[in-house]
Every structure is written in C-alpha cells, then in structure tokens.
Amino acid sequence: MGCTHSLTTGEQVICTACRSEIPIALNHLEKDDKVKELFFARADVQTATSLFYYEKIGIVQQLIHQLKYQGREEVSAFLGKWLAAALQNDPDFQDIDLVIPVPVHPKRRAKRGYNQVDGFGKELAIALGARFRESVLIKSRNTINQAQLGQIKRSDETQSPYKLMEQIAPGTHVLLVDDVITTGTTLALCAKELHKNSGIQLSIATMAVSV
C-alpha cells in the first residue's frame, strides 16, 4: 500500500523497502515527548506515544488514507501489531488495564463499515494483557472531518461531541487510542470525558503524529 510493488513471501500490507523508509516516532522514548506536551494544561496524561511521524506526502499518509477512505480495514490491526511489539515490554505500558478507542459517529461508521482504530486498539490490548472496550465513549455529533478544518477551528475545545457512557473503576489505567494526532483536540476532549471517572490513570497511543 505504500508503493506499486508486489508483496513477496512474508510481507504484509507494505513491502520491506517501504517499511524501512517509514519515519518511526515512539515519542515516549524521547526526553522531550512532543506528543505528551500537546496535552499540557489540557488533560492529565501519564504517558503518550505515536508509532509514526505523519507527513502530508509519504508512505504513512498512504496507509492512513487506505485505512480511512479505501476500506482497507486490515491496516488498523497491522499497525496495532507493529506498535504492540514496541510496547509490550516497555515499563510505561505494563500496567495498562483497559484500551479505549476514540469513537466515530454512527453515520460515519456505517458509511465506512468500521471504526478505523478498533483493530489497532485490539492488538495493543492483546499484547498488553488488557481489556478492549469501545462502548465507554460515544460521539454524539457528526462533526466535520478534522483534516478539513483550519488550525483555529480544529483546536476549539468548547463544544465536545464526545460523551462518557460507562463508569470506570478508580485505579484503572486506561490507554486511549486514535489514528493521527494533529493539534490533540480530539484526544483532549475524550480525555476530559474519561477523567469524569475519578481516580483513573490515562495514557495515549496513536498510529501517527503530524509533523
């Protein structure tokens, strides 16, 4: 999905050449975690990471586009397994209890046929020995695609379309997962809803972070 070459034995989704060119992020390993910094004074986040850096023209954009707009649902689990391999022995993620995906509106889910981050989250849950629950949060209002908004409108956190539907026990360490972080607004709004459950810990993992 990253080029026009045919896959060979042992390759999945992308070829070995494309895989070697993808810009790996894993921001939580850096001294200055740029992903976590996005949530400073916006939400209480324990740790945050992204698998890739997202560039407007490149292999990562191709993968996300195939996942979101071309019906290639298998990309989600593929990226989940990739990140899971990096996190399953990482001390920052060893006590994750619950993995929750950022929800999509029912109309958008019906049109696409799936939530693009479900497979990603399920693979992380399996690797981390956690539960996966997609019913904790819902998106009650079908907003404009974030990619179509300007910086100011994209960063508006006054009108949240996300709602908490289930309670989470105190002491639970939640991993909130999404596809691409731009300004962090979507994740910050979801984090605020999740923190209505007092006493939980919250971490974040995404497929990519925009550079």
Residue 189: give its domain's CATH number: 3.40.50
Q: Cα–Cα distance between 136 and 44 in angstroms, integer?
A: 18
| Percent of the chain residues past pLDDT 90, beyond the cut | 72
Residue 145 pLDDT: 56
130 found inside a domain: yes
**Total count of domains within the chain:** 1
73 found inside a domain: yes
What would the mean pLDDT of 191-206 be, rounded to a whole number?
Answer: 96
2 found inside a domain: no
Full residue range of the structural domain in which residue 183 is found: 16-210
pLDDT in tens, 111-149: 999 999 999 999 999 999 999 999 999 998 876 554 444
pLDDT in tens, 26-49: 999 988 788 889 998 899 999 999
**Which whole-number Å values give the CA distances from 47 to 36, 65, 122, 176, 202, in the listed order?**
6, 27, 19, 11, 8
4 found inside a domain: no
167 found inside a domain: yes
